[in-house]
Amino acid sequence: MKKNKIIKYINNSNVSRFRTIIQIAFFVLFVYGGYFFINIGQNLPTFACPYNPGSSGTCYLISAQHNLHTTWEQLFSFRGLGFITGLGSFVLFFIIFNKAWCGYACPLGTVQDWITKLRKLTLTRFTRYDEMSFKRLSKVKYVFLVLLILIPLGMSNSFFGLSEISNDMSAPFCQICPGRTVLPLFSGDTSQLFIDFTSTTTMVMSSLGILFMALFLVGSFFKKRFFCFFCPMSALQYLFSKIGVLRLVKDGSKCTKCGNCSRVCDVGITAIADDITSKNIVKDDCMMCFKCVEACPEKGALDVKFFNFKIFSSTEEGFFKRYGQDDSLTSNKKKDD
């Protein structure tokens, strides 16, 4: 049947190669699209940075920080509607591809994957976090998210009777975000690489920005997808991940706990292998790159679902095509299954 053939073809395909191509396409779109007058929106669930002159959209975090830079009265008045609509359009963009925005579309993620490829050329070993560090570091992104919500509010209102935060902290996360410093470099724009001596606040924030850029580059070299651990966009997305239309589900009874999935996971999530009870296996660090599904040799243990249709499943045949084939061995006489 034609349908079975298509399903078989997809299940046997090399998703990682497909993903590299999609990443390049989205990178060109988000980093250079503005030069072709493309404008996708102001509330994108990925790092399309407006500091980059060729950007074809704006990341939602900067919109959120600007929207939250109002007084309490205004926030709960009609102006708060602007915040709600911004959040609403972010959620609508997001739930279609769920966390796959991180794995397939985010330009910062793509840059990190390229740095990883560079590391492979130098034969340097990558870093893996142990369980304790993993759990602790995973909380940092929520801290960033809370700060980027509270600081803009604190600039227009006073918390606990303290004075309002200086306007120099405007868009606080944007000032430390590596997207602001790294992405414009791809358009040849180095204007974001400075330390602003205007006031102590600007000095500290711009120094932090440069510091984070250095940490981003070095960290991505040694740890795959280093920044994704600390990304507040990832934290914000995870809050809405349960209603996502694209899902990654696991059938625990079929799992042999071989650990292949967590071994190939770039981020290093061990819960994919060890959790045999949950159905929805997308954790807050997951970027839905589906390398785990590729690496699973048990049929039907991991499935990718889109609107409840299984569009990609783990199969024995697919696994052996991707990991078992070696052209130098004598070919076995096999009939088509």
Partner 1 sequence: MVFLRNIKQSEYIFISILLISIFLVQPLAAQEIIWFSNVPPKDAKKIVPSGMHKLSSVSGKRGQSSIIQWLRKGTNLENTSYIQIPKNEDIEFYLFSPSNKQVENKLMTKGDKSFFSYASKEEGYYNAYLIQKEVKGDTLYITIAKSELLNHSCRNGHKLVRGIVGPHLYSEIIPVEIKRKRIFTEDLHYFTTSSDNVEYQFLVNGKPVEGANLTLVTQKNWSKTLKTNKEGNSTFQFIQDYFSSWQELNNREIYNYLLYGEITLPTQGNYEGKAYSYTHYTTSLSDGYRPAKTMYMSMFWAFVVFIVTTIITVSGIFIYRFKRQRIYKEIKLDEKK
Partner 2 sequence: MINATNQDRYNRLKKTSTIHYNMEVNQVLSEIIDDFPDKISGMEYFYNKFKPIEIGESLYPKDKKLIASMCIHVPIEIIHALDATAVRICSGSYSVDTAGSDFLPAKTCPMVKSTLGALYLDLLPGNAIPDLVINPTTCDQKKKMGEMGDEINKEFYVLEVPSSKDSEEAREYWQRTIKKLVKKLEKITGNRLTRGKLKKSIKTVAQAQSEYRRFMRIRKESPVILGKDALLIANAYFFDDINSWTENLAILNNELEERIEKEITVANSRTPRILLTGSPSIFPNMRTPILIEKLGGVVVYEEFCSSSRMLSDTVAVDEWFLYDMVPALADRYLKPSTCPNFTPNDDRIRKILLAMKDYKVDGVIYQTFTGCQLYDMEAIKIGKALETAGYPVLNVELDYNPKDSGQLTTRLEAFLESIKDKKRKN
Using CB under 8 A as the binding rule, whether residue 198 contacts partner 1 is answered as yes
Burial tier of 201 (Cβ tally within 10 Å: 0-12, 13-18, 19+):
middle
Query: Candidates 144-152, 168-176, 239-247, 326-334 — which segment interacts with partner 2 by CB under 8 A?
Result: 326-334
Interface mask toward partner 2 for 233-272; x: CB under 8 A = --------------------xx-xxxxx--xx--------
For the bound state, the minimum distance from the C-beta of residue 295 to partner 2, rounded and expressed in Å, comes to 4
Q: How far apart are CA 315 and CA 74, in angstroms?
A: 55
Using CB under 8 A as the binding rule, whether residue 332 contacts partner 2 is answered as yes
Is 280 strand, coil or helix? strand
Contact 92, 229 (CB under 8 A): no
For the bound state, the minimum distance from the C-beta of residue 186 to partner 1, rounded and expressed in Å, comes to 17
Residue 274 binds which entry of partner 2, partner 1, none, with Cβ cut-offs from 5 to 8 Å by kind? partner 2
* Cβ neighbours of 169 (radius 10 Å): 18
Q: Give, in degrees to the nearest 5, the angle at Cα 223 between 169 and 252.
A: 105
**Total binding residues toward partner 2, as defined by CB under 8 A:** 36
Extract the tokens encoding 13: 């395909």
Distances (CA, A) of 203 to 86, 178, 208, 210, 327: 31, 17, 8, 11, 58
Query: Candidates 4-12, 73-81, 284-292, 303-311 — which segment interacts with partner 1 by CB under 8 A?
Result: 73-81
What residues from 95 to 134 belong to the interface with partner 2 (CB under 8 A)? 120, 123, 125-126, 130-131
- Of 22, 38, 215, 258, which one interacts with partner 1 (CB under 8 A)? 215
Longest alpha-carbon distance in the chain: 79
Is 302 strand, coil or helix? strand
- Of 30, 47, 66, 293, which one interacts with partner 1 (CB under 8 A)? 66
Q: Site residues (CB under 8 A) for partner 2? A: 120, 123, 125-126, 130-131, 253-254, 256-260, 263-264, 273-274, 276, 291, 295, 297, 316, 319-320, 323-326, 328-330, 332-335, 337
